[in-house]
Amino acid sequence: MSAVPPSLLCLGLCLSQSTWAQKALPGPTVPQRSPVTLLCQGPKRADGYKISKVGSPEPLDKEEETTPRKTNTLTIAEMTVDKIGLYHCSYQRGGRWSQFSDPLQLVMTGAYDKPSLSSVAGTVVAPGEKVKLQCFSKISYDVFILTKGDDDHTQNQSSAPQDGRHQSIFLLNPVSSTQAGTYRCYGAFRQDPYVWSGPSDPLQLQVEGTTDSPSSTQPRRSPAPTAWHLSVETQVRLSLAALLLLVMAVLLAEAWCSGGGVPQ
């Protein structure tokens, strides 16, 4: 896991009545024992920052109280169970602290065996079609969590027993081009909502007519692009040949007229 660069979580700040947008790079789910860095950013004129876990009375980094920083970071060397939960931050200006940012969920993954993810309708679907993504496992997880792209939390649902396994059905209805992408799912238990299983194998959902769909590069009901290009090239060559013959005919006609006929 050491080869993976640390996750970078950006916490938004509360300024007056507005809240800065939160951002997670590469995502808010951190593999077990992997490092993660929390970054708190605020206005240029801020005197300092502090990052704290929701419910914790003290900042996690004691230096924040004595050494104000324009940009404050908190590095967690290894993601463990005691580090999971909700985090927020605030900034100091003129001796006063701002409101806390909206909380950012920090999740540890890889604690349990991964579930499986499949698409009932297949991985290539038409726009407007109803798509069901099925997450299932032999482990009796209480909930399954579906993510898209860089661990963007999409949906979570309670699991239900079915044919000797537990599963959840995630419905994408109607599907559109914005829902094309890579999906994964995780399993979790209610008593530890921030401890997830390993991710399922990725499922690439393609929507016809989008750049990710094979239909946009390989038309099913039209001639292959290569054949069409060859036809165009042939037409160009024939046009050039016809033009050359026309020029030759004009030259021969001029020679005929100036010489009084074809020499004997």
Least confident of 37-51, 78-92, 140-154, 203-217: 203-217
Residues 206-247: tens digit of each pLDDT = 999 765 444 444 444 443 443 344 455 566 567 777 777 887
Rounded mean pLDDT of 252-262?
A: 66
- What is the model's pLDDT at position 91? 83
What is the chain's Cα-based Rg?
A: 31
Decide whether 7-109 matches 116-216 in CATH topology: yes
Distance CA 79, CA 230 (A): 57
Distance CA 22, CA 74 (A): 16
Let me know: does 29 contact 104? Beta carbons within 8 Å. Answer: no
pLDDT at 22 over 60: no
Residues 153-199: tens digit of each pLDDT = 678 999 999 888 999 999 988 889 989 999 999 999 999 999 999 99
Q: Which CATH superfamily is domain 116-216 in?
A: Immunoglobulins (2.60.40.10)
Please state the pTM of the whole predicted model.
Answer: 0.68
| Structural domain boundaries in the chain | 7-109, 116-216
CA angle 238–239–245, rounded 5-degree value = 90
Q: How many CB atoms lie within 10 A of CB 53?
A: 18
Distances (CA, A) of 207 to 116, 154, 202: 21, 18, 16
Distance CA 37, CA 44 (A): 21
Top-level class of domain 7-109: mainly beta
* Number of residues written out for the chain: 264
Rounded mean pLDDT of 63-82?
A: 70
